[in-house]
Amino acid sequence: MGFTFQFIIRLFLTMLMSVILTPLIKLLAFKIGATDAPSERRINQKTMPTAGGLAIFISFSVIVLFESWSTPDFSRIVWILISAAVVVITGLIDDIKELNPKQKTLGVVIASCMVYYLAEIGFHTLSIPFLGTFELGWLSLPMTIIWILAITNAVNLIDGLDGLAAGVSMIALATIGLVSYFFLPGYGVFLAIIIFSLIAAIAGFFPYNFHPATIYLGDTGALFLGFMIAIFSLQGLKNATFISVLTPMFILGVPITDTVYAMIRRVFNKQPISAPDKMHLHHRLLSLGFTHRGAVLTIYAMALVFSFIALLMNHASTSATILLIIATIVGLELFIELIGLVGENHQPLLKTLKFIGNRRYRQEVLNKRKK
């Protein structure tokens, strides 16, 4: 009971620190030029301060250093925070003077290598049902880098509406925290404490960021949150299994879906993969008549559904998990085609269902005529 009370107090202090720091970061953002001016690609109608992620990073770092200084994992936590600082600095520079994709990628790759070599976090083995366990060997580092890059960029891509990336990140982190606590023996409890400390830091920032926002996460915050989600998910992937790999992928179903379909859309439209557009999930919902808050809340609901599926997967058998994955993919594809995320001309599943339906209808008409 005493530990639980102390933990709640620490979470409250973390949130309070973030609440106090955010207005100060807002003033700093204007002074250093970390602002977002209105443009064709932006939703905002006035110049907005960015780099709000600094408040989250500082609050989280202070409380985590305090919580872990006397634990055996203190050195690992320090290296994780130093690596995260590299990502935060990369994002801050981008918020001030807009880096190109290669420069941002370089910053995340450097941080990923630091995590792999200094914090000793990464893929090492992979267990696949019916095939066995494989030692990754030299593939361990590149797979770790690809994993971190993919999740970091996925979270960064959905940061297009007030409170969207922050809210989805809290849902994802809460799910990872629950999975860590219940399914990772030993270290999982400490990991859950660290994860919920980050959630508390985001919660303190969230009231300033939800619509109508007074400050944005910026790349400072979006890259940091994506990086930390990737790191936390990797904690359970040192000896990765089929389920442990799929769990974080489903938890991050919304940003991963948005990223994958953005890549598909750009390939179909013969555009560079990194080319910006206004066809992301939140853009499509807005174009269909959703309000700003309505679009955000809809995506929150999707994130919760993905998280619930991820939790179910940890209880289901392998065959049930495979069926669950198939059902999810089919349902997701239908939703994506209905809102036109790839484009109105790319609806293979809907066209197939229409063809089958029309064929049956024509057959019924012919049968009636014969009678």
The total domain count for the chain is 2
Q: What is d(CA 198, CA 169) in angstroms, rounded to the nearest whole number? A: 10
pLDDT at 56: 97
* Residue tagged 């555009």 (tokens): 271
Q: Are residues 147 and 27 in the same domain?
A: yes
3-state class (DSSP) for residue 210: coil
Query: Which tokens belong to 51?
Result: 């780099």
3-state class (DSSP) for residue 71: coil
Answer yes or no: is 21 within a domain. yes
Answer yes or no: is 135 within a domain. yes
Listed in sequence order, the residues at least 6 apart from 351 whose beta carbon sits closer than 8 Å to its beta carbon are none
pLDDT at 208: 95
Answer yes or no: is 190 within a domain. yes
Give ∠ CA 18-20-23 in degrees, rounded to 5: 100
3-state class (DSSP) for residue 273: coil
| Of 238, 270, 300, the domain-final residue | 238
One-character DSSP codes across 100-118: -HHHHHHHHHHHHHHHHHT
| Of 203, 238, 273, the domain-final residue | 238
Q: Are residues 227 and 365 in the same domain?
A: no
Is 219 annotated as belonging to a binding site? yes
* Residue tagged 């209905």 (tokens): 338
Give me the phi and psi of 172, to 5 degrees please.
Answer: -65, -45
Answer yes or no: is 58 within a domain. yes
What are the mean pLDDT values of the chain's consecutive 10-residue runs (371 residues total)? 76 95 95 82 76 95 89 90 97 91 94 93 69 73 91 87 91 88 75 93 95 91 94 69 69 84 80 72 84 90 89 78 86 85 74 73 65 59
- For 63, the domain range is 2-238
Q: Are residues 229 and 368 in the same domain?
A: no
Answer yes or no: is 329 within a domain. no
3-state class (DSSP) for residue 41: coil
Is 269 annotated as belonging to a binding site? no
pLDDT at 237: 55
Q: Are residues 367 and 225 in the same domain?
A: no
Listed in sequence order, the residues at least 6 apart from 276 whose beta carbon sits closer than 8 Å to its beta carbon are 41
pLDDT at 236: 60
Q: Are residues 55 and 186 in the same domain?
A: yes
| Of 176, 208, 238, the domain-final residue | 238
pLDDT at 244: 61
